[in-house]
Amino acid sequence: MFKKIFGSGKNTPVDIDKDKLPKHVAVIMDGNGRWAKSQGLLRSAGHLAGVKTLKKILRFANDIGIEALTVYAFSTENWKRPKEEVDFLLSLFSEYLAKELDEMNEENVRISFIGDRAGFSEKLQNEMKNAEERLKNNTGIRFTIAANYGGRDEILRAAKKFAEDTNIDAKNLTEADFERYLDTADAPPVDLVIRTSGEMRLSNFLLWQAAYAEFWVTKTPWPNFSTEEFLEAIRSYAARERRFGGV
């Protein structure tokens, strides 16, 4: 019944045709710190509130039938933050994986990480690997966390991997070949980038993958970002005409 009236949505029906939905949504979850300050709280409280928003948005995106959601959790530049904040964020990743994996599994979510894991402790690297392994046979949304991620760093690492690969001749290298060396090797291209907290920039996020992505920015800081606003971004995307450089 719902299927007939609404084009998409496994559990949460939305009135957008399935073929108009973005396949891959990427989110720059900005504004945790500013939100915390506005509430008279520590920055860490902003990140904790950010995790709550992330859980809500992931569930909703999965429900409405988005194929892939990638979030920017920690950039290669974020190491410049005060040590206490970096340590807090890293411990939050571990805690998140320990606490949320069962529920994600029940909700059929697959998880993966992009970015240079070598920068993390062996313990966190193992937690990441175990999480990926445990949810790998699920068939729902592909949820990717970008951690110690930078678009330039990813492209450079890919170029190094390519240079070490003797199976392919540089002269014959195509874009499709090169993509296989990126961290996102088997993900669809990014259709929509959402950024919260108002800045109009990509901040080294998915430089290759977002080449033709539509952009949607809101002033709302990440902790206050709602499923209604997420849907507004999706609707805005569905109404746009994408030309990929053509006419």
Catalytic residue positions, numbered: 30, 78
State the chain's maximal CA–CA distance in angstroms: 57
Residue type, 129: K
Q: Which of 80, 69, 72 is nearest to 205 (CA)?
A: 72
73, two tokens: 């959790």
Q: How far is the CB of 200 from ligand FPP (least distance, A)?
A: 14
Q: Binding to ligand FPP by residue 124, rule CB under 6 A?
A: no
Query: 203, 27 in Cβ contact below 8 A?
Result: no
Return the number of the residue (9 or 221) whose C-beta is nearest ligand FPP.
221
- Using CB under 6 A, which of 7, 9, 22, 33 touches ligand FPP? 33
Q: Binding to ligand FPP by residue 220, rule CB under 6 A?
A: no
- Using CB under 6 A, which of 92, 101, 155, 238 touches ligand FPP? 92
Q: Binding to ligand FPP by residue 117, rule CB under 6 A?
A: no
Q: Binding to ligand FPP by residue 110, rule CB under 6 A?
A: no
**Span near ligand FPP by CB under 6 A; candidates 49-57, 157-165, 187-195, 229-237:** 49-57
In degrees rounded to 5, what are phi and psi of residue 147? -135, 130
* 245: exposed, middle or buried (Cβ count in 10 Å: 0-12, 13-18, 19+): exposed
Q: Binding to ligand FPP by residue 32, rule CB under 6 A?
A: yes
Please give the full DSSP string across 143-170, using - where no structure is assigned: EEEEEEE-HHHHHHHHHHHHHH-TTS-G
Q: Binding to ligand FPP by residue 213, rule CB under 6 A?
A: no
Contacting residues toward ligand FPP, per CB under 6 A: 29-34, 47, 50-51, 54, 73, 78, 92-93, 96, 145, 197, 222
